[in-house]
């Protein structure tokens, strides 16, 4: 029996609770990513790499980050982006899906029901 393809726009992103984040006066979000694990500890000890990296998002990414609430789907977030930025956000869906993949691959977000620890 073939597996039914999943529509990425139906995924529900959730901010990974392992990372903290802050917002500056201009509304720009900075994610604080703590480097965990055996290899990270070795790199910190011998190569003096930082324990925490600070990833500053752009205007679009910051807006999107603040809209992630664990309830809205990627499709819902696309509509919010379109309402906020209009034509500037185009090509909206391609960019949004790629951005979500990057956030997910870097463990900044999880997908509800898809990743371990999300219901």
Query: Which residues lie across from 54 on neighbouring strands?
Result: 32
Phi then psi for residue 57, to 5 deg, are -85, 160
Q: What is the pLDDT along the chain (119 residues), one digit of tens a residue?
A: 555 667 888 999 999 998 899 999 999 999 998 877 888 788 878 888 888 889 999 999 999 999 999 999 999 999 999 999 999 989 999 999 999 999 999 899 999 988 776 66
pTM above 0.85, yes or no: no
Q: Are 84 and 61 in contact (CB under 8 A)?
A: no
For residue 63, CA distances in Å to 24, 55, 58, 77, 101 come to 12, 15, 9, 10, 17
For residue 41, CA distances in Å to 3, 31, 47, 54, 69 come to 40, 20, 10, 17, 32
């Amino acid at each position: 029996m073939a597996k039914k393809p999943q529509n990425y726009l139906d995924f529900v992103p959730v901010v990974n609770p392992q990372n903290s984040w802050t917002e500056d006066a201009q509304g720009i979000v900075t994610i604080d990513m703590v480097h965990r694990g055996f290899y990270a500890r070795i790199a910190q000890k011998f190569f003096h790499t930082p324990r925490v990296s600070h990833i500053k998002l752009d205007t679009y990414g910051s807006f999107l980050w603040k809209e992630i609430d664990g309830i809205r789907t990627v499709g819902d977030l696309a509509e919010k982006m379109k309402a906020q930025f209009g034509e500037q956000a185009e090509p909206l869906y391609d960019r949004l899906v790629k951005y979500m993949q990057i956030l997910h691959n870097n463990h900044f977000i999880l997908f509800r029901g898809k990743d371990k620890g999300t219901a």
